[in-house]
Amino acid sequence: MSPGIINARVTFRNSPIHVLEQFTIRDVSNAYSQFKKHSGLEECVIIQTCNRIELFARSASYSQDRIKKTWASLAGLEEDSFDGNVEFEEGREAFYHLLKLVSGLDSMVLGEEQILGQIKNSITSAREIKASGSHLNTLFDKAIRIGTRIRNSSGIGRGGISVGSMAVKLAEENIDELKTKKVLLIGTGEVSTLVAKSLQKRGYAFDVTSRTISRSQAFCEAMGGGPVRFEDVLSGFENYDVLFVATTAPYFLVTHERITEAMRKKGGMMILDLSNPRTVDERVATIGGVKLMNLDQIAEMVEKNMKARKNKVKTIENIIGEEVGVLEA
Which residues are marked as active site?
50
Q: Are 248 and 279 in contact (CB under 8 A)?
A: yes
Nearest to 113 by CA among 144, 74, 82: 144
Contacting residues for 253 by C-beta, under 8 A, at least 6 apart: 186, 234, 245, 247, 279, 280
Residue 104: CB atoms within 10 A of its CB come to: 23
From residue 174, how far is each of 199, 202, 284 by CA, in Å?
15, 16, 17
Q: In whole angstroms, give the CA distance from residue 69 to residue 319.
A: 36
From residue 74, how far is each of 35, 46, 69, 158, 287 by CA, in Å?
10, 13, 9, 38, 34
Q: In whole angstroms, give the CA distance from residue 184 to residue 242.
A: 6
Can you tell me whether residue 104 is helix, strand or coil? coil
Q: Are 327 and 139 in contact (CB under 8 A)?
A: yes
Give the HSE-up count for residue 294: Cα atoms under 13 Å, Cβ half-sphere.
20
Q: In whole angstroms, give the CA distance from residue 145 to residue 150.
A: 9
